[in-house]
Structure 1
Amino acid sequence: MARRKKVYEGKAKILYEGPEPGTLIQYFKDDGGLVVANAQPAQGQTEGKGVLNNRLSEFFMSGLNSIGVPTHFIRRLNMREQLVRMAEIVPVEVVVRNFAAGEMSRRLGIPEGTPLPRPIVEYYYKDDKLGSPMVSEEHVIAFGWASQQDLDDMIALALRVNDFLSGVMLGVGIRLADFRIEVGRIWEGDYMRLIVADEISPDSCRLWDMRGNEGADGQVREPGPLPDVYTELARRLGVLPSNVTHALKPTLIN
């Protein structure tokens, strides 16, 4: 499919005009890495990352669509591109945390790996120049980034995504500590609804390996970061392209 006008280019993806009104072609680059709330992007290029993220995001978005969670994903076009619905992105990243880690552990003094009493939803203003600062519901509503109804719907979407991802990951021996999603607005006639947009990949998740944690002394270790996260996750989920066999470094929510 011939590409048309470039609409947007970020650290990890390029968006082009789609073949039909209301569609875009999303191209996954090898550049960048960490594109999640309050975290620093990886520098440089990692060969093959875009191919794996395209396959992984397809897997997760298709799964969400199949259980009635609306996403912008339509279909994968080739190794690096997928066709998606055009959406107005809400400038608030939604982070769901199941375990204390990273920035939450530092901010609240909770030991890394502590299970949280329930999934905690946080909001981060989507602005790379500001480092995507954490904001409250009051900020989101006061500055008009989203309405209270939008926030209620965003929480419902995020928690459904959490249930789905947690179950999928657990089934392949991975603990989903936390993740980030972006939400978009689409219109169907006069009706507006919110959908999961952007991508779901290791760039936006913190994943801990639950396999092989027994040490030389026979003691079971706490789950740790998934080694070679892109390749290993694709392998366990059965979506590893046959021509991508090298290992890639993990990137995590901060």
Structure 2
Amino acid sequence: MSDVPAALYEGKAKIVYPGEDADTLVLFFKDDTSAFDGEKREQLARKGEINNAFNAYIQTYLQEHGVPTHFLRRLDARRSLVRRLDMIPVESVLRNRAAGSLCRRLGVEEGRLLEPPVLEFFLKNDALHDPMINRSHIRTFGYAHAEEVERMEYWTLRVNALLRERFAQVGLILVDFKLEFGRFAGEILLGDEFSPDGCRLWDVQSQEKMDKDRFRRGLGGVVEAYIEVARRLGIATDA
């Protein structure tokens, strides 16, 4: 019989397993890649291990700068140990430049600088295609309390300030990103992952896309772009 515990949940890019105790979980990063609500799917060799290393670096960097996260440590090439959170079913999306759905919704040109940055919320619900919601929806439907929404906003803006500067140091524009949060021991912590799967990164000089848009748009070189971003940040992508 296998000693591997049964998975608690399998998502598009990760599998969640029980952790070392009741307060922890193990995240297994898959090579699976999807877009457009799962309509486009593919397996990209090494993507899981690269995202695991990338996420470990970013979460540790944020912790070192005062951002509370669920990350504990990387276990091996594809697995990380994290705190078990009571997840809030809301994505916090921060946009420094116009791209993706913002351009489609508002008719603005891609790349337009957004000052101040735009902060949006989306309900995490695949069946409803993650609709955009506001603070009133979050409070009225009980997704989070007003104080929790304030903390989510505060930490999202703080993460943006930290990572916008960090990526700029290595010649990259942090276009936008999404975050998820959860509750642990009465505190709001950053959860899920931070990788090129969930943010947009452009090269400062060429404007080349260095993120999942390469997969969405069929540009190719997805993993190669992820590796280049990791290289610039000094992230070792092997175990």
Q: 1:169-222, CA deviations, whole angstroms, 9 ceiling, x for partnerless residues?
A: 1011000010001001111xxxx11010000000100111113x3xxxxxxxxx
Q: Percent identity among equivalent residues?
A: 41
Could you report, residue by residue, the CA deviation over 1:118-138 in whole angstroms, capped at 9, with x for unpaired residues? 111100000112111111111
Listed as ranges, the matches of 1:117-156 within 5 Å are 117-156=115-154
Does residue 209 of the first structure (1) align with residue 203 of the second (2)? yes
Where do residues 213-232 of structure 1 align in structure 2 (5 Å cutoff)? 213=206, 223-226=207-210, 228-232=224-228
Q: Indicate conservation of the 8 Å contact 1:231/1:240, yes or no.
A: no
Q: Distance in 2 between matches of 1:32 and 1:129?
A: 19
Residue of structure 1 in register with 2:42 after alignment: 44
Q: Aligned equivalents of 1:137 and 1:146: distance in 2?
A: 9
TM-score (norm 1): 0.84
Say which SS state the counterpart of residue 123 (structure 1) adopts: strand
After TM superposition, what 4+ stretches of structure 1 lie above 3 angstroms from structure 2? 39-42
C-alpha distance in 1 between matches for 2:237 and 2:136:
44
Gaps of 5+ in 1: 214-222, 244-254
Aligned to 1:103: 101
Stretch of structure 1 that moved more, 174-183 or 232-241 = 232-241
Q: Number of residue pairs matched?
A: 224
Q: Shift of the alpha carbon at 1:80?
A: 0.3
Residue from 178, 192, 203 that aligns with 1:198: 192
TM-score by length of 2: 0.89
What secondary structure does 1:78 align onto? coil
Provide the rounded CA distance (Å) in 2 between the counterparts of 1:83 and 1:3: 15
The amino acid of 1:168's aligned partner reads R
1:23 and 1:86 in contact (8 A); partners too: yes
3-state SS of the aligned residue for 2:81?
strand
